[in-house]
Amino acid sequence: MSIFSIWLPSKALATACTDSTNTGYKRLRDTIDNAENLDIGDLACFVGSIISVLLIVAWVAAVIWILVSGIQYGLALGEPDKIANAKKSLIWAVVGLIISLSAYAIMVYIEQTFLYI
pLDDT tens digits, residue range 62-100? 999 999 999 999 999 989 999 999 999 999 999 999 999
Reported as type and span, the H/E element at residue 63 is helix 40-75
Q: Work out the mean pLDDT of the chain and round it to a whole number.
A: 75
Residue 1 lies in a domain: no
Residue 27 lies in a domain: yes
Torsion over CA: 42, 48, 49, 51 (sign): positive
pLDDT confidence of residue 39:
60
Q: Which residue has the higher pLDDT, 109 or 89?
A: 89
CA dist., res. 103 & res. 105, Å (int)? 5
Q: In total, how many domains does the chain have?
A: 1
Domain with 15 in it: 10-115
Q: What is the mean pLDDT of residues 32-43?
A: 62
Residue 28 lies in a domain: yes
Torsion over CA: 6, 71, 78, 90 (sign): negative
pLDDT confidence of residue 55:
87
Q: What is the mean pLDDT of residues 25-41?
A: 61
Residue 2 lies in a domain: no
Q: Under a CB-based contact definition with an 8 Å cutoff, are residues 38 and 31 in contact?
A: yes
Residue 103 lies in a domain: yes
CA dist., res. 44 & res. 56, Å (int)? 18
